[in-house]
């Protein structure tokens, strides 16, 4: 994909990570950063969590472009897995090591409460499949697990979805499955206590299909959706009225429309070089900001100015958000340059070496 033409993709990634920072500056500090906030304002900040779903949509959307470009590539599926692994693993594995070192330093006697199943599930990106693993080791690691599990099934999915109708059917089917999953687990306390019902792979999977649908929407007109597909939509809507709509559905529809619009006309307010720069290091920022806030918590930082009323609370939050964003971006710039990029280059070298060996053979 040409850099300038697809600047809106990185810009949307930038928006996604800034949304995530918005909610975590609001609820991840030990000292309250939203004191005096009315419920409406806190609710707006809390909806920053939907930035994770924007990441998922962009991921599947861009993967479809890459898949189309590489059709016919020798060892295409295995090469895809190599690229994806070296895109995610170096930074994520470093995060596992850093958080472990932090826990050992914090409490050398009890650090072994980080159990073996937790480590195995995190190293294998399986932690989102089990409610007892899902919020372990790396803060926010559940979303990386969801992403990687989607990578595993993506080649199978992408090779079978050939048009907008098939993408719509896959989307509606996944939404029905996710809704049924929520309905089945709704009375099981442990699933709700650990948020497993909302952040597990099973419930988040439809978000990726929304990204795939967005991809086909940019290639084909929605008028090509046939009557059978519309019928499935009606069935899905009927099911939602009985069992409840996934919390992310409304927002992801907006994201899908945003991708469609920006692909046609990249409005500067949503697509610009500043957001694009943030988007380029957004994966590092997603991981780094958790550790930055943890360190700020250890120093008792949560107040930039004295907070005595709603006005000073809002000003304190804004200043704290700016501070966390700037520091996170600065650290992430270097982690991207010295960890992410070398990791991706290593994956490329392995693919090139395999290709050379195959030619020699």
Q: Rounded CA gap, 25 and 289, in Å?
A: 9
Please check whether residue 80 is in contact with residue 153, taking contact to mean a CB–CB distance below 8 angstroms. Answer: no
**What local confidence, expressed as pLDDT, does residue 1 receive?**
46
**What local confidence, expressed as pLDDT, does residue 111 receive?**
55
What is the band of 65 on the pLDDT scale with cuts at 50, 70, 90?
very high
Measured from the Cβ of residue 236, the count of other Cβ atoms closer than 10 Å reads 17
Among 19-28, 189-198, 214-223, 292-301, the least confident range: 189-198
| Average pLDDT over all residues of the chain | 90
Measured from the Cβ of residue 135, the count of other Cβ atoms closer than 10 Å reads 18
Please check whether residue 210 is in contact with residue 59, taking contact to mean a CB–CB distance below 8 angstroms. Answer: no
* Stated pTM of the model: 0.93
Length of the chain: 361
Among 2-6, 15-19, 319-323, the least confident range: 2-6
Q: What confidence tens digit (pLDDT) does each residue in 80-117 have?
A: 999 999 999 999 999 999 988 888 777 655 555 567 88
Q: What confidence tens digit (pLDDT) does each residue in 267-294 have?
A: 999 999 999 999 999 999 999 999 999 9
**What local confidence, expressed as pLDDT, does residue 224 receive?**
86
* Mean pLDDT, residues 191-214 taken together: 88
Highest mean pLDDT among 26-30, 169-173, 196-200, 337-341: 337-341
- Give 137's Cβ-side CA count (13 Å radius): 29
Q: What confidence tens digit (pLDDT) does each residue in 138-157 have?
A: 999 999 999 999 999 999 99
Please check whether residue 64 is in contact with residue 158, taking contact to mean a CB–CB distance below 8 angstroms. Answer: yes
* Mean pLDDT, residues 54-70 taken together: 95
Record the tokens describing residue 9, joined without a space.
Answer: 């993709």
Q: Rounded CA gap, 56 and 149, in Å?
A: 12
* Mean pLDDT, residues 31-53 taken together: 94
**What local confidence, expressed as pLDDT, does residue 311 receive?**
96
């Amino acid at each position: 994909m040409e850099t300038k033409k697809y600047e809106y993709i990185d810009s949307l990634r930038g928006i996604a990570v800034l949304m995530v920072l918005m909610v975590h500056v609001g609820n991840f500090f030990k000292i309250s950063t939203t004191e005096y906030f009315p419920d409406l304002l806190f609710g707006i900040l809390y909806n920053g969590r939907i930035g994770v779903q924007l990441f998922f949509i962009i991921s599947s959307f861009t993967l479809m472009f890459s898949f189309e470009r590489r059709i016919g590539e020798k060892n295409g599926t295995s090469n895809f897995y190599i690229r994806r692994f070296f895109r995610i693993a170096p930074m994520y594995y470093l995060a596992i090591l850093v958080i472990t070192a932090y826990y050992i330093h914090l409490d050398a006697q009890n650090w072994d409460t980080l159990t073996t199943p937790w480590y195995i599930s995190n190293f294998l990106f399986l932690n989102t499949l089990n409610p007892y693993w899902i919020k372990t080791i790396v803060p926010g690691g559940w979303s990386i697990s969801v992403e990687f599990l989607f990578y595993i099934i993506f080649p199978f999915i992408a090779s079978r979805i050939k048009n907008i109708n098939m993408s719509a059917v896959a989307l509606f089917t996944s939404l029905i499955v996710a809704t049924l999953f929520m309905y089945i687990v709704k009375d099981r306390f442990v699933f709700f206590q650990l948020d497993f019902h909302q952040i597990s792979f099973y419930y988040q999977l439809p978000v990726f299909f929304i990204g795939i649908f967005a991809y086909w929407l940019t290639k084909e007109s929605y008028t090509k959706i046939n009557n059978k597909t519309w019928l499935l939509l009606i069935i899905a809507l009927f099911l939602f009225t009985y069992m409840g709509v996934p919390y992310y559905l409304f927002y992801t529809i907006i994201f899908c429309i945003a991708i469609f619009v920006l692909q046609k006309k990249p409005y500067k307010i949503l697509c610009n070089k500043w957001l694009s720069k943030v988007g380029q290091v957004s994966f590092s920022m997603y991981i780094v900001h958790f550790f930055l806030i943890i360190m700020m918590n250890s120093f008792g930082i949560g107040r930039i100015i004295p907070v005595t009323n709603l006005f000073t609370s809002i000003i304190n939050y804004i200043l704290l958000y700016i501070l966390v964003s700037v520091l996170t971006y600065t650290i992430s710039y270097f982690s991207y340059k010295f960890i992410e990029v070398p990791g991706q280059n290593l994956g490329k070298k392995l693919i090139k070496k395999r290709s050379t060996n195959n030619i020699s053979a």
